[in-house]
Chains A and B, each alone.
Chain A
Amino acid sequence: MYSHMTSAVYIVYGLIAVNLVFAVVLYGIKFRNVKQQKAHERFHKKFKDYLIYIQANIDSEERLRVPPGRMNRLEFNLLQERLNDMIESFAGEQREKLIDLCGQIGFPTYHLQRLRGRSYRRKIDAAYHLGCMRVKEAVPAMLELLRRHKADSSLFVIARAIAKCAQDPKDIKDMVHILLSKGRSIPDLIADMIEESSIDQTALFAQFIQSGQPELIRIGLVGLKAYTAPEMAAAVYRLMDSSNKEIERKSIEIYLNSTVFLPANVVNRLLGHADAEIRLLTVQALSEHRNSAYAGALRNGLKDPDPRVVHASANGLLRMGEKGMLLFCEAAKDSRDSGEGTVLQDMIEEELHSLSARTQNVNYLTQYNALLYAYERTFGKNKRIYRVV
C-alpha cells in the first residue's frame, strides 16, 4: 500500500508541474498577444501618413515609393497585411501599382524564399501572401506543393493562391486537375477560385463544358451561371440530356436564362420532364418572357401533378396579358366543370381581390380590368367579385 502511496504522491507532484507548465505557457501566449496588439497600434500611428500617401496617390502616374526609413520585422509583416487588404480592394491599374510597390519593398522575394524553405507553416504563409500579391513566379513551386499536399483545409489556400497568381490558363487547369485528383467534388469552390484569377474565365469555363469530363463540366456550368449570352444556349444544349442530374439541371438553368426564344420542342420536352424542379424552372422561365406564344404551354402546366408547377403556371398566365388570362379562366372553368374542384377559379378570384386593393397604380388597374373581363366572359357575372370603379 505504501509504495502505491509514494508513487501516487509523485504522480500528484508530476501533475502539479504539468499544470504549472501549461499555465506558464498560457500566460506567455497571452502576454505575447497583448504585446502584439500594442505593436499593431504603434505601427498604425507610425505608418498612418504613409498609408494615406498610398491611398491619395494611387491614381497618379508616378510610381509609389517605399516607406522612408527602416522597418523592423513586425512592421514589415504588418505593412504586408495592409497592402494585401488594399490589393484585394482595388482593381486594374491601381492594383498593379500596389503590386509594383510590394515588389520594391521586397515582399515577393522574401516570400518566394520562404516558399522554397522547409518549414510547412512558413510555406503556407508564403503561398497565401504570394497569392495576394499575384506573383506569377511562384506558380510552379505552389503547384508542386499542391500536388504533395494532403486533402485538408490548407489545400484550398494553396489552390486559391495559384488561381490568383496564374497568368497561363494551363496552370489553372493543372491546379483543377490536382484538386480533383484528391477525390473531392467541389465545383462551387473551384469556380469561385477561378474567378479570382486574371485569365479569360469565360473561355476556360467554356472549354470545361466541352471537355466531356463530368467534374469539369460541372465546374464550367457553375462558372457560367451568371452569363446569359445567347452563345451559352448553344454550348449547353447538348448537356441538357446528360445522365448526371446535376449537370442536366444546371445546363437547363443556363439554357433557360440565355435564350431569347425557346423552341417548342424543347419546351415540350422540358415540361414533360420527370423531375418537378425542372418543370418548375421551365415554367418560371416561360413566365419571365411574357410572350403569349407560350400561353398554351403554361396552360398545360396547370394540369401538372406538382402544386408548385401549377402555381407558377397560374402566375405566369396571369401576367401574360389577355390571351393568358383568358386561357387560364377557360382552364379553371374546365376543371370546375369536370369535377376537379375550384382551386384554379379560387386563384383567379384571389388575384382579383389583391389587385383591387392596388388599383391606384395604373399597371395594376389595367391588369385588374383585363382579368375581370376575362373572368366574366368565361364565368359570367359573379356577385362575389368586388368591383372597382
Chain B
Amino acid sequence: MKLTVLVRDPLQLMTRQLRQLAQEAYATNQACGVILTTCTNTNPRFLVQLESFLNKHEAELEIECYFDDHSRVLGVILAGRKLASTHYTALVCKEFLERYDLLDGQLIAASFPESGELTEPVLSQLIRMVKEAKEKTRDIRLFVNQPSYGGVSTILVADTEETSREFIKLRFEMKGYEVHEARDGSEALAKFSQYAPDVVITELNLPVLDGYQLIHKIKEEHEDGKVIVLTDKHLTKDMNRAFEIGASDYVTKPFSFSELEWRIKRLQFV
C-alpha cells in the first residue's frame, strides 16, 4: 500500500486538472470554452443538475463540470465552443446559479484559442482572477489575453450618449485597451491631461466645449495627439472642418466596431 502524502498547492492542482480536461476537449475539436466562477455550496449533486439544465437549453452541448471543494471554484468546460457561445452558456449558468442561490462572485468566460494560449499560466491566471473577484460584483467577464498592439493602449472616449460610450468602452476593454470616458468637452480635456491617452475618440456635439474645440486644444498642446471623430454628422463641411482642425480620422455613425478598431491600429503607422 502506497501512502503518499504530498502537500500540494490546491490552486496548482485545480489548474492541472482543468488543463487536462480542456486538453481532452481541445484535442477532439477546434475550440474549447471555459467558464469559471465561485460558488457558495459544496453539494456535488448540483453539478449534475447544472449539466442537465445546460443541456435543456442546448441539447448538443458537451460539458464537463469540475468543482474544487477547497476554493469553491466551479469550472465548466465546453467542447467545441467559441467565445460567443461560451458567453451565452455563461448567461445560462448564471441564471441557474442565481436561481438556487449558489452564485458567489463573478463569472469569467474564456475560449481557447480565441482568448489566448491554453497553458497552465493562463489558466491559473484565470482562476486567480475568479478567486480575487469574490463578492465584488456578479457580472460576467470575458477573458481575452492579448497583448495590446504596440503603440496604442489607452483610449479616451468623449460622447454624451451613454449607450455609445458604453459599447465602445466594453469592446475596447475586451481587446485589452485601457478606456477612459468623458461626458463633455471639458471633462475630456481634463482627462486627456491626466491620463495622456494614445487616441481620443470624440463626438462633435459636446456640451461646455464642443468636439472641434477639443481637437483644437489637444492639438495645441500636443501636436502629435491623435483624435478620431465618431459622429452622426454626415455633412461634408463638418468632415472638412474636422480635418482642417487636426483630426486624424472621421468615422460616421452608425459604425462598425471592427472598422473603428482597424482605423486606430492604422494610426500608429501614420
Contacts and interface: CB of A to CB of B under 8 A. Distances in A.
Interface residues of B, number: 30
A55 interface: yes
B85 A62 contact: yes
Contacts of A297: none
Contacts of B65: none
A240 B85 CA distance: 59
B149 interface: no
Nearest to B111: A60
B19 interface: no
Contact of B253 (A65, A69, A89): A89
Contacts of B256: 90-94
Interface stretch (A45-53, A200-208, A273-281, A337-345): A45-53
A339 to B, nearest CB: 41
A298 B234 CA distance: 32
Contacts of A93: 256
A53 B82 CA distance: 13
B139 A91 contact: no
A322 to B, nearest CB: 25
Contacts of A65: 85, 88
B139 A48 contact: yes
Interface string B223-243: 000000000001110000000
B129 interface: no
Interface centre among A50, A65, A228 (most CB of B within 10 A): A65
B254 A68 contact: no
Contacts of B57: 68
A306 interface: no
Interface in B63-93: 82-85, 87-88, 91-92
Contact of A58 (B140, B234, B257): B257
B119 interface: no
A369 B265 CA distance: 44
A68 B83 CA distance: 17
Given A68-B92, A89-B164, A94-B257, A55 B87 contact: no
Range class of the A interface residue count? 20 to 34
Contacts of B258: 59
A85 interface: yes
Contact of B236 (A60, A61, A88, A226): A226
Contacts of B171: 55-56
Given A55-B171, A57-B84, A68-B95, A89 B163 contact: yes
A62 B266 CA distance: 27
A91 B170 contact: no
A95 interface: yes
B170 A88 contact: no
Interface of A: 48-50, 52-53, 55-62, 64-65, 67-69, 85, 88-95, 226, 228
27 contacts: A48-B139, A49-B91, A49-B94, A49-B139, A55-B166, A55-B167, A55-B170, A56-B142, A57-B83, A57-B87, A57-B88, A58-B257, A59-B257, A59-B258, A60-B83, A60-B84, A61-B82, A62-B85, A64-B84, A68-B88, A85-B163, A89-B163, A89-B164, A90-B254, A92-B256, A94-B257, A226-B234
